[in-house]
Structure 1
Amino acid sequence: MKNYFSYFTFLTLLGLLLILIVQSAEGSIDQSSVLGSDANMIGYLFVNTTSNLTNAIQSISLFLLSFGIVGIAFSFINLGSKRIKRHNDYLETLVKDRTRTLEEKHNQLKAQNEDYREALSLIQDQKEEIETAQQDLLHKNKDLTEAFEEIQSQNELLDHERAKLEQAKRIIQAQNTKLMGIARNLDQQVQDRTKELSRSNNLLLEKNKELDEFIYKSAHDLRGPIARFKGLSQLIQMEYDQNNDISDHLEHLNHSANHMDNMLKRLSNVYEISARPINPQKIEISLILDTVFDRLKGEENLDSVSIEVNNLIDKPIQIDPSLLHLILKNLIGNAVRFQDPLKLNKWVKVNIEIIDKYLVISVKDNGIGIKKEQKDSIFELFYVGSELPKGPGLGLYICKIITNKLNGDINLNYSEIEKETEFKASIPIKS
């Protein structure tokens, strides 16, 4: 289309150019005719010939000009028609889409109208049935009317009851929801209780195992003093029959009896610690220390050891005094009992203080020490860290079960370089 437009424009311009040339030529011919009025026939013929040629060229120019203008107009018309066609195509596409949408809506409306017609038909049928029934009812007598009124009153009563039933149903549903919540809570409680029972069962099994070991080792340790009793009794009998002095044997017998008595007391302490409840009281630490050292004077050689006590608690605290007495007595008694006889300066340092709401008891000594392989077993029942027969191996075990019962802990710290042993117990207390 652009090429056609260019061609027609060229023809138009060419026509205009020829018209200008022809007009210039006609001006020249007019001047020559004015100037040479007396020219000959040949000049006249030449002028006539030029005039004819000019007319022909002018006709051609007018034709070209007209054809160019018509072509340009046709090009503009054709261009406009194509634009109009494209716009019409676009409008036609929009109309088709809109028509399709309208057809779909129309189909939907038709379907809805069909449903409405069916509903209206059904309503009409029901209306006719109701009208027939009403006409039938009109022919009923007054008794039936009264019966109908009574039925209506019963229906109202039934509606009222139905409303109450709906309300009861909502209440039951709410109760069911609460019961479901309670059931879930109970299920969680059962699971928690099952875990607690499992832990208790495991603890019971551990305690039973510990009790079996306790009974076995107690029987084993008690068999020694009893055997010594029997041997000394027979020896005393033999010496008595021969009228010999039996005072040494009686002393040994008394020593064995004291040893058995101490062992039975410790075994009794173990049972009492496990069985009896905790009885916390307000008491001063200094009073418990006095009773501890009074008891140790009769059991240990306190004069052979330098004992330094640093009690930083100057007011009463809430704690079970008997349990604290046993902890202090066993820790201090062990430190005194297992002193190194080869050392000239034997000492025991006791430090008692409160740190972050914990009663911290530290008992340090420079005794015979503890071997590295003994650290993991030092708190076990009847375990004796020294080869010297100085005790039944119950002191540290008693300290361990007491601190556990009081929700505390006890640890061993041993310095290989300084050869110093420290037992540190931590017990929570209430302010």
Structure 2
Amino acid sequence: MRNYFNYSIVLTLISFLLLVVAQPIEASGTNNISSEELGILTYFFELNPDELSNIVRALSFGLLSLGIVGIAFSFMDAGSKRIRRHNDYLEVLVKERTRTLEEKHNQLVAQNTDYKEALALISEQKEEIETAQQDLVTKNKDLTEALEEIQSQNEVIDRERTKLEQAKRIIQTQNKKLLSIARNLDQQVQERTIELSKSNQLLIEKNKELDEFIYKSAHDLRGPIARFKGLSQLIQMEYEQNNDISTHLDHLNHSANHMDNMLRRLSNVYEISARPISPQPIDIQLILDTVFDRLSGEENLDIIDIDIENNLAKPVKIDPSLLHLILKNLIGNAVRFQDPLKLQKWVKVKFDMVDHNLIISVKDNGIGIKKDQIQNIFDLFYVGSELPKGPGLGLYICKIITNKLNGDINLNYSELERETEFKASIPIID
């Protein structure tokens, strides 16, 4: 096609040359062509100058037309090729787009399959959730049955108390104290049972921790109740045989005191969470006096050197009952878990005010705490010692009190010196 274009250009040039030649022929007398040259042209073509000029002009126009047609055909052919190349490019592009759309369609089909599988998995998980909800309903029923069992046991206590009162009417005046204890115990059991019934919904929401609370409470209550039943039957038998029942009454009194102490500590946990904070200016020494008055029954209290360091310049504004519980539990634990093998037994209690925070430190050189027990020492019903010293509520009570007062409590234990320090920090508002 390039040759056609070149030929067309040549023809066009020739036509222009012929046009140039035709002009002198027309003029026939000008200086451009001599008479001899004109005679030669006339001789060869046997034409006069006008006819020869017309022929040359016609020939040049014909060649010019062919040149122009050739050039036009060359451009049209080049355009056609360009259109064909563009069509080929479009065809390739369409194929690529078609292949891309097919790939996307396949991806959409695969995603649709994945979505169907996901929906099936969601459906299975929904069934599992419904099963779990049914399990929760079953557990709720079990908890309700457990509460009903506790209430049934309370009714057993009432019946046993009635039998015990019939026996006490014949016993001498010294047994009146036991009768009063039994009545107080009955009233406390009824009050605690009402409190447990009111907090049933709260116990369900607290899940694991409160489930353990109910289980442990019921377990610890069954022991004293079983001892009450056994002792009451034994007292009845001994009384019918006119035997001395004073020893059995002492055991009964001890069991009543143990159950009363446990119920009081369980009541403290509820009261701490339920009642509002009532801060008021108090003297630390007055609180300490009430604490040591409550701890007067501890067997180790007389053999321990207790050092009190009060660095407070004025009374602090805090809830006295909550502070009393913190000091009673911390000092009580320090006294209760003393090391009998040490000659010098001591407890150091210190009060400081740092940046509007009341810092309470209770430090002792008792039996200490094992390293693997430190992280659980503030948990509910956790007893860090192997000695049966209590239900494991003291440090838990201290923790929830400090949290309620927007404070914190921590354990510092020196394994080398075997010294234990509990340090509580409580914000004080002036």
TM-score by length of 1: 0.51
- Aligned-residue offset at 1:273: 0.2
Match of 1:147 in 2: none
Quote the Cα distance in structure 1 between the aligned partners of 2:315 and 2:299.
Answer: 28
- State the secondary structure of the residue aligned to 1:426: strand
Match of 2:412 in 1: 413
Quote the Cα distance in structure 1 between the aligned partners of 2:204 and 2:427.
Answer: 27
Match of 1:351 in 2: 350
Checking the alignment, whether the CA contact within 8 Å between 1:317 and 1:429 is kept in structure 2 is yes
Match of 1:332 in 2: 331
Quote the Cα distance in structure 2 between the aligned partners of 1:288 and 1:224.
Answer: 33
- Aligned-residue offset at 1:391: 1.0
Match of 1:364 in 2: 363
- Aligned-residue offset at 1:210: 2.6
Give 1 or 2 for the bigger CA radius of gyration. Answer: 1
Alpha carbons of structure 1 residues 208 and 277: separation in structure 2 relative to 1, 3 Å: farther
- Aligned-residue offset at 1:245: 2.1
Once superposed, what is the RMSD of the aligned Cα atoms?
1.8
- State the secondary structure of the residue aligned to 2:255: helix
Quote the Cα distance in structure 1 between the aligned partners of 2:265 and 2:411.
Answer: 22
Structure 1: 4+ residue segments shifted above 6 A: 203-206
- State the secondary structure of the residue aligned to 1:349: strand
- State the secondary structure of the residue aligned to 2:374: helix
- Aligned-residue offset at 1:416: 0.8
- Aligned-residue offset at 1:354: 0.8
- Aligned-residue offset at 1:206: 6.7
Quote the Cα distance in structure 2 between the aligned partners of 1:314 and 1:222.
Answer: 45
Match of 2:284 in 1: 285
Given residue 348 of structure 2, which amino acid in structure 1 is its aligned partner? K
Alpha carbons of structure 1 residues 387 and 231: separation in structure 2 relative to 1, 3 Å: farther
Alpha carbons of structure 1 residues 212 and 307: separation in structure 2 relative to 1, 3 Å: same
Checking the alignment, whether the CA contact within 8 Å between 1:300 and 1:333 is kept in structure 2 is no
Match of 2:215 in 1: 216
- Aligned-residue offset at 1:348: 0.6
Deviation per CA, 1:94-127: give whole Å up to 9, x if none.
xxxxxxxxxxxxxxxxxxxxxxxxxxxxxxxxxx
- Aligned-residue offset at 1:327: 0.3
**Is the aligned partner of 1:240 residue 2:222?**
no
Checking the alignment, whether the CA contact within 8 Å between 2:298 and 2:336 is kept in structure 1 is no
Quote the Cα distance in structure 1 between the aligned partners of 2:379 and 2:224.
Answer: 22
Deviation per CA, 1:296-352: give whole Å up to 9, x if none.
114554212111111111301111111011100110001001111222211111011
Deviation per CA, 1:350-389: give whole Å up to 9, x if none.
0111112211111011111111111111111111112222
Alpha carbons of structure 1 residues 352 and 331: separation in structure 2 relative to 1, 3 Å: same
Match of 1:382 in 2: 381
**Is the aligned partner of 1:342 residue 2:341?**
yes
Alpha carbons of structure 1 residues 247 and 396: separation in structure 2 relative to 1, 3 Å: same
- State the secondary structure of the residue aligned to 2:317: strand
**Is the aligned partner of 1:250 residue 2:212?**
no
- Aligned-residue offset at 1:232: 1.9
Quote the Cα distance in structure 2 between the aligned partners of 1:300 and 1:327.
Answer: 20
Given residue 292 of structure 1, which amino acid in structure 2 is its aligned partner? V
Quote the Cα distance in structure 2 between the aligned partners of 1:310 and 1:361.
Answer: 10
Given residue 391 of structure 2, which amino acid in structure 1 is its aligned partner? P
- Aligned-residue offset at 1:408: 0.7
Given residue 276 of structure 1, which amino acid in structure 2 is its aligned partner? R
Within a 5 Å distance, the mapping from 1:7-406 to structure 2 comes to: 207-299=206-298, 301-406=300-405
Given residue 325 of structure 2, which amino acid in structure 1 is its aligned partner? L
Checking the alignment, whether the CA contact within 8 Å between 2:349 and 2:360 is kept in structure 1 is yes
- Aligned-residue offset at 1:204: 9.2
Match of 1:428 in 2: 427
Given residue 215 of structure 2, which amino acid in structure 1 is its aligned partner? Y
Checking the alignment, whether the CA contact within 8 Å between 1:361 and 1:425 is kept in structure 2 is yes
Given residue 414 of structure 2, which amino acid in structure 1 is its aligned partner? S
- Aligned-residue offset at 1:264: 0.7
Quote the Cα distance in structure 2 between the aligned partners of 1:340 and 1:232.
Answer: 34
- State the secondary structure of the residue aligned to 2:206: helix
Quote the Cα distance in structure 2 between the aligned partners of 1:204 and 1:235.
Answer: 37
Given residue 378 of structure 1, which amino acid in structure 2 is its aligned partner? I
Quote the Cα distance in structure 1 between the aligned partners of 2:280 and 2:408.
Answer: 20
Given residue 340 of structure 2, which amino acid in structure 1 is its aligned partner? P
- State the secondary structure of the residue aligned to 1:398: helix
Alpha carbons of structure 1 residues 343 and 370: separation in structure 2 relative to 1, 3 Å: same
Given residue 216 of structure 1, which amino acid in structure 2 is its aligned partner? Y
- Aligned-residue offset at 1:230: 1.6
Checking the alignment, whether the CA contact within 8 Å between 2:278 and 2:318 is kept in structure 1 is yes
Quote the Cα distance in structure 2 between the aligned partners of 1:272 and 1:232.
Answer: 32
- Percent identity for Structure 1 against Structure 2: 83
- Aligned-residue offset at 1:208: 4.4
Query: What number of residue pairs does the alignment pair up?
Result: 229
Quote the Cα distance in structure 1 between the aligned partners of 2:426 and 2:339.
Answer: 30
Checking the alignment, whether the CA contact within 8 Å between 2:204 and 2:211 is kept in structure 1 is no
Given residue 207 of structure 1, which amino acid in structure 2 is its aligned partner? K
Deviation per CA, 1:73-93: give whole Å up to 9, x if none.
xxxxxxxxxxxxxxxxxxxxx
Quote the Cα distance in structure 2 between the aligned partners of 1:304 and 1:206.
Answer: 45
- Aligned-residue offset at 1:424: 0.7
Checking the alignment, whether the CA contact within 8 Å between 1:284 and 1:314 is kept in structure 2 is no
Quote the Cα distance in structure 2 between the aligned partners of 1:340 and 1:326.
Answer: 24
Unaligned runs of 5+ in 1: 1-202
- State the secondary structure of the residue aligned to 1:269: helix
Checking the alignment, whether the CA contact within 8 Å between 1:292 and 1:329 is kept in structure 2 is yes
Checking the alignment, whether the CA contact within 8 Å between 2:408 and 2:426 is kept in structure 1 is yes
- State the secondary structure of the residue aligned to 2:216: helix
Checking the alignment, whether the CA contact within 8 Å between 1:358 and 1:429 is kept in structure 2 is yes
Checking the alignment, whether the CA contact within 8 Å between 1:339 and 1:368 is kept in structure 2 is yes
Quote the Cα distance in structure 2 between the aligned partners of 1:403 and 1:205.
Answer: 24
Checking the alignment, whether the CA contact within 8 Å between 2:204 and 2:210 is kept in structure 1 is no
Given residue 311 of structure 2, which amino acid in structure 1 is its aligned partner? L
Match of 1:84 in 2: none
